[in-house]
């Protein structure tokens, strides 16, 4: 591979000038910069990334810790993060914890050892101890999709309460009164807040909350299917089901089909997340959309700000949701 000396000879400049062009360490005229860059292209020269990172103290890599990359929401969110980081000149190292706190701990150490410049973190649960340890070590961190309470951390979350409220309010506007809810894991704040919004919408409409219509799921399609079978075979049968994520809503639709029920004529279904797959199932799924590109862009901006200025005050951002109407909801017959 070509060396800096060979590039310098080709561009008719000193090796120091080539180094300044590569590392942006001193002003170089545009004409000289173009000569050096042309010589680098002609010779196929590639700067040594490791050496540059040792000199600058930055690797231009970021860690992304996700709890379940098989979940389409997190896959789409990961894509949004990667796109936003790439636009700012950073690469992403992705770690999938599978909701395992031990894997979360190990991957956190791996990323630290890889000397990433910062992390975007979606915690497996409310593991405040692990997050506190990261910040104590001085590693810039942004937490996404989890509200970590009083921890002094930059966070980006969506308005899960409002999402649960508008989903239920939509079903009420269609004339449904017997509305069931399939929740996510109880230890995750997004799930709890969506259920709180569901309850609030019912109470605002003067409809008592029937606790037997609230079943616990795990954000996977299989739990939506199992809970859907249970709800749809009870008497009286619910008129509508709000599933706290799209994968569980897809499971409900499968259960309804197996029981010979029509959607939305016999049962209306609303999901949450607005994953791409939801628009292509039959019927297309009404869902509460999380603004994944905006979440990714904001998370990266906050993280890079924190890298540049560790003394910034904590910033907590709550992004709005939007109900996307499709064909899985209809008027009560």
> Which residues sit opposite 214 in a β-bridge?
181
Confidence check: pLDDT of 128 > 90: no
Residue 332 is assigned to a structural domain of this protein? no
The count of domains in the chain is 3
**So what's the pLDDT on residue 127?**
62
Q: Residue 189: which pLDDT band, with cuts at 50, 70 and 90?
A: confident
Domain enclosing residue 144, as ranges: 61-158+292-320
191 and 273 inside one domain: yes
121 and 210 inside one domain: no
Instruction: Count CB-CB contacts under 10 A for residue 318.
Output: 14
Task: Name which of 290, 177, 258, 183 is nearest 227 in CA terms.
Answer: 183
**So what's the pLDDT on residue 52?**
52
274 and 212 inside one domain: yes
- pLDDT tens digit string along 30-65? 999 999 999 988 988 877 654 555 455 567 899 999
Share of the chain above pLDDT 90, in %: 66
The CATH number that applies at residue 24 is 1.10.260.40
Residue 325 is assigned to a structural domain of this protein? no
20 and 132 inside one domain: no
- pLDDT tens digit string along 220-278? 999 999 999 999 999 999 999 999 999 999 999 999 999 999 999 999 999 999 999 99
Q: State the Cα–Cα distance between residues 317 and 320, nearest whole angstrom.
A: 10
Between 216 and 147, where is the model more confident? Answer: 216
CA angle 98, 167, 178 (to 5 degrees): 105
Residue 52 is assigned to a structural domain of this protein? no
Residue 264 is assigned to a structural domain of this protein? yes
> Which residues sit opposite 324 in a β-bridge?
287
Residue 326 is assigned to a structural domain of this protein? no
The CATH number that applies at residue 87 is 3.40.50.2300
pTM equals: 0.82
Mean of per-residue pLDDT scores for the chain: 90
259 and 151 inside one domain: no
Angle between helical axes of 4-11 and 30-43 (0-180°, round to 10): 120
Q: State the Cα–Cα distance between residues 15 and 39, nearest whole angstrom.
A: 12
> Which residues sit opposite 154 in a β-bridge?
142
75 and 217 inside one domain: no
Q: What share of the chain is helix, strand, coil (3-state, %, to 5)?
A: 45, 15, 35
16 and 76 inside one domain: no
Task: Name which of 69, 156, 68 is nearest 120 in CA terms.
Answer: 156
């Amino acid at each position: 591979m070509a060396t800096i000396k060979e590039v310098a000879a080709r561009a008719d400049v000193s090796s120091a000038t080539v180094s300044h062009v590569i590392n942006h360490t001193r002003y170089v005229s545009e004409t000289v910069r173009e000569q050096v860059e042309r010589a680098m292209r002609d010779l196929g020269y590639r700067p040594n990334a490791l050496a540059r990172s040792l000199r600058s103290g930055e690797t231009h890599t970021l860690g992304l810790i996700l709890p379940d990359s098989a979940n389409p929401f997190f896959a789409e969110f990961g894509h949004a993060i990667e796109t936003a980081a790439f636009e700012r000149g950073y690469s992403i190292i992705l770690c999938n914890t599978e909701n395992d706190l031990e894997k979360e701990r190990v991957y956190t150490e791996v990323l630290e050892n890889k000397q990433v410049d910062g992390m975007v973190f979606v915690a497996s649960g409310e593991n405040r101890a692990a997050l506190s340890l990261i910040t104590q070590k001085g590693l810039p961190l942004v937490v996404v999709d989890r509200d970590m309470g009083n921890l002094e951390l930059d966070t980006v979350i969506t308005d899960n309460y409002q999402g649960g409220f508008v989903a239920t309010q939509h079903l009420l506007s269609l004339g449904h009164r017997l509305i069931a809810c399939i929740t996510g894991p109880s230890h995750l704040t997004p799930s709890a807040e969506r259920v709180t919004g569901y309850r609030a919408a019912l109470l605002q409409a003067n409809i008592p909350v029937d606790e037997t219509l609230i079943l616990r799921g795990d954000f996977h399609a299989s739990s939506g299917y199992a809970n859907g079978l249970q709800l749809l075979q009870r008497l009286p049968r619910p008129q509508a089901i709000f599933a706290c994520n799209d994968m569980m809503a897809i499971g409900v639709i499968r259960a309804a089909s197996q029981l010979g029920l029509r959607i939305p004529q016999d049962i209306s279904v609303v999901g949450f997340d607005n994953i791409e797959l939801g628009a292509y199932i039959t019927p297309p799924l009404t869902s509460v959309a999380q603004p994944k590109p905006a979440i990714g862009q904001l998370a990266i901006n906050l993280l890079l700000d924190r890298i540049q200025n560790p003394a910034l005050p904590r910033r907590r951002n709550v992004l709005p949701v939007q109900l996307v109407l499709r064909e899985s909801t209809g008027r009560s017959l």
